[in-house]
Amino acid sequence: MNARKLIVGPFNRVEGDLEIKLDVEDGRVAAAYANAPLFRGFEQMMVGKAPEDALTITPRICGICSISQSAAASAALGAAAGVAPAPEGMRVAAILHAIENVCDHLTHFNLFFCADFARPAYAGRAWHARAVDRFTAMEGSGARACVEARAQILHIVGLLGGKWPHTLAIQPGGVTRAPTARDCVRMASTLASFRRYLETVVFGAPVESFAEIATADALVGWDKGDAGLFMDIAADLALGQMGAGPGRYMSFGAYPLPDGRAFASGLWEAGHLQPVDTRDIREDLSHAWMHGATAHPSDGRTDPDEDMSDPAYSWCKAPRLGGRTVETGAFARQVVDGHPAAVELAGRGSNALNRVAGRLLEVARTQLLLEQWVADIAPEARFMDSVTLPQTGDGEGLVEAARGALGHWIRIEDGRIAGYQIIAPTTWNFSPRDAAGTPGPVEAALEGAVVGDDEDTPLTVQHIVRSFDPCMVCTVH
Q: Binding to other proteins (CB under 8 A): which residues in 219-248?
A: none
397-436 positions binding other proteins, by CB under 8 A: 415
CA distance 446 to 465: 8
Among 21, 28, 155, 195, binds other proteins (CB under 8 A): 155
Verify binding: residue 258, other proteins, rule CB under 8 A.
no
Q: Measured from the CB of residue 319, what is the shortest distance to other proteins in angstroms?
A: 21
Contact 67, 59 (CB under 8 A): yes
In sequence order, what DSSP letters do the residues of 298-363 get, joined into one string? GG----B-TT--TT--BS--EEEETTB--B-SHHHHHHHTT-HHHHHHHHH---HHHHHHHHHHHH
CA distance 387 to 172: 7
Verify binding: residue 260, other proteins, rule CB under 8 A.
no
16-35 positions binding other proteins, by CB under 8 A: 16-17, 19
Q: Measured from the CB of residue 342, what is the shortest distance to other proteins in angstroms?
A: 28
Among 27, 121, 129, 162, binds other proteins (CB under 8 A): 162
Among 24, 29, 55, 444, binds other proteins (CB under 8 A): 55
Is position 62 annotated in a ligand binding site?
A: yes
Verify binding: residue 48, other proteins, rule CB under 8 A.
yes
Is position 114 annotated in a ligand binding site?
A: no
Contact 316, 34 (CB under 8 A): yes
Verify binding: residue 122, other proteins, rule CB under 8 A.
no
Among 71, 84, 86, 377, binds other proteins (CB under 8 A): 86
Q: Measured from the CB of residue 16, what is the shortest distance to other proteins in angstroms?
A: 7
Verify binding: residue 469, other proteins, rule CB under 8 A.
no
Maximum Cα–Cα distance across the chain: 72
> For residue 389, is it left (φ>0), alpha (ψ between -120 and 50) or beta?
beta
Verify binding: residue 163, other proteins, rule CB under 8 A.
yes
370-399 positions binding other proteins, by CB under 8 A: 382-386
In sequence order, what DSSP letters do the residues of 423-444 get, joined into one string? E-HHHHHT----TT-PPPHHHH
Contact 165, 64 (CB under 8 A): yes
Which of 11-19, 232-240, 261-269, 350-358 is the region at the interface with other proteins (rule: CB under 8 A)? 11-19
Residue 414, SS3 per DSSP: coil
Is position 474 annotated in a ligand binding site?
A: yes
Verify binding: residue 169, other proteins, rule CB under 8 A.
yes
- Distance between alpha carbon 51 and the CA centroid of its chain, in Å? 25
Which of 167-175, 360-368, 393-401, 420-428 is the region at the interface with other proteins (rule: CB under 8 A)? 167-175
Is position 103 annotated in a ligand binding site?
A: no
Nearer residue to other proteins within complex by CB, 13 or 125: 13
Nearer residue to other proteins within complex by CB, 258 or 322: 258
CA distance 246 to 449: 15
Of 294, 295, 288, 291, residue with least CA distance to 310: 288
The annotated binding site is made up of 43, 62, 65, 422, 471, 474, 477
